[in-house]
Amino acid sequence: MTFIQKTSLNHGLISCHSCHLLCRRNSSAGIMRCPRCGAGMHLRKPYSIQRTWALIISALVFYVPANVLPITTVISLGKAQSDTIMSGVIYFIRTGMWPIALVIFIASVFVPVLKLLILILLLISVQRKSAWRSKDRTRLYRITELVGRWSMVDIFVVTILVALVNLGAMATIHAGPAAFYFSAVVVITMFAAMSFDPRLIWDTEASSHG
Amino acid sequence: MSRTIACHECDLLHRIGDMPQGASARCVRCGALLYRKKNNSLDRTLAFALTGMMLFILSNTFPFLAFKIEAQVQQTILLTGIRTLFDQGMRTVAVLVLFTIIIVPFLQMAGLLYLLLPLKFDRLPPGLPQVFRFVRWLQPWSMMEVFMLGILVAMVKLMKMATIVPGVAVFSFLALIFIIAAMTAALDHHQVWEKWDELR
Ligand SMILES: [Zn+2]
Ligand SMILES: [Zn+2]
């Protein structure tokens, strides 16, 4: 493998997002289509920074009701008891189920916040044209892409609980409104990570080295 | 045969020459995996997709989890929770769960069967680029392994209250997770495009 210290950006080329075919960039206006797979071609993901910001802000807005409102309500013999994500974690700690408390806390509280913070850091560093530790920043981006899906675990737990604990008057579990807001947070942050273009991290480096 | 590709994560250009089977090329600047050459990729992917389809049918028809509390038994299938969520008015959440654990894995396998079966006999399936792009787009939305973790958490949570009996579907679902992971790992995207360039 030989290595050409050049990018497609400064070489008049364009790489297909979908099939990775490298083509000569055509200068005429309008959207260029990949000659092999037909996908629309962009040098960088379109409006990457604006889109990612918009999605991060909406995720933050949804994050509040996701944590304040109840995610489940247990109705047993006429009595109703509601739990939020955090009160569920506290219940597991009190009853000594540490591993489960940790799984829910990491997946539902820690990961979404971490993911949003990393994306904010990446956006600010790209907007300030920083060339600071580009390789580590790319790694951070890969982490956000990988871990986001695991936040869905609490939604799946609720799905299984409502199916199993459905014994009429004796015991029934209902999903609460936080289930909706929380799944919105997960989906929106996944789209936010997808709309960020990691090549933006390296673009400043290429221009500062000539 | 050597070709030039741009790193999808940092845009650096690389020339990739002939590589031995199983070898992989990484970006020298950011470390992203550029390409991995896989043995009999299309045949193995096809075999995993076929096996996966059978496990998929088992997982969706056989008993999933049973909940025993004193004399009462609540028997469920995989779809029960999704239906209950829907009946409780949580329609968006129900659709999202249905999508991520049932529809996406099914479409991934069906899409690959549609593409790879004809390619095996050197025929071009109509709409190959669109179908293949769609199958790749689905990838991050398949969340069966996260659901499996959810099963474990729910079982521990209910342990003190009742007995949970896992049914056939739980085990076939677990096997399906590994088969789909193997199917995704076996697929060499480049070989599909090579076939397409060669046949069209
Ligand atoms: Zn393409
Ligand atoms: Zn790279």
- Whole-model pTM: value is 0.91
According to DSSP, the β-strands at B3-6 and B12-16 are antiparallel
Q: Do the chains contact at A164 and B133, CB–CB below 8 Å?
A: no
Residue A5 pLDDT greater than 80, yes or no:
no
Report pLDDT digits (tens) over A102-161: 999 999 999 999 999 999 999 999 999 888 888 999 999 999 988 989 999 999 999 999
Report pLDDT digits (tens) over A28-37: 667 788 888 8
Query: In the prediction, which pLDDT does A210 show?
Result: 40
* Cα–Cα distance measured from residue B157 to residue B146, given in angstroms and rounded to the nearest whole number: 17
For chain B, which residues score pLDDT lower than 70?
A: 1
Residues whose CB is less than 8 angstroms from the CB of residue A171 and which lie 6 or more positions away in sequence, other chains included: A74, A75, A76, A77, A165, B69, B161
Q: Which residues of B touch A65 (CB under 8 A)?
A: none
pLDDT grade for A166, boundaries at 50, 70 and 90? confident
Give the Å distance between the CA of B66 and the centre of ligand 1.
Answer: 47
Q: Which residues of B touch A72 (CB under 8 A)?
A: none
Report pLDDT digits (tens) over A89-109: 999 999 888 989 999 999 999
Instruction: Please tell me which residue of chain B has the smallest CA distance to A176.
Output: B90
* Cα–Cα distance measured from residue A57 to residue A119, given in angstroms and rounded to the nearest whole number: 11
Residue A27 pLDDT greater than 80, yes or no:
no
Q: Three-state SS for B11?
A: coil
Q: Three-state SS for A64?
A: helix
Query: In the prediction, which pLDDT does A124 show?
Result: 96
Option in A39, A155, A162 nearest B84 (CB): A162
Q: Which two tokens stand for residue B49?
A: 């997709």
Query: In the prediction, which pLDDT does A29 show?
Result: 61
Please report, for chain A, the start and end positions of each structural domain, with discontinuous segments joined by +: 1-43, 47-209
Give the Å distance between the CA of A201 and the centre of ligand 2.
Answer: 11
Residues whose CB is less than 8 angstroms from the CB of residue B98 and which lie 6 or more positions away in sequence, other chains included: B79, B82
- The per-residue pLDDT of chain A, averaged, comes to 89
* ipTM of this predicted structure: 0.92
The CATH label, of 3.30.460, 1.20.140, 1.10.3470, 1.20.1740, for the domain at A47-209 is 1.20.140
* Cα–Cα distance measured from residue B82 to residue B77, given in angstroms and rounded to the nearest whole number: 10
Give the Å distance between the CA of B195 and the centre of ligand 1.
Answer: 14
More confidently predicted of A81 and A30: A81
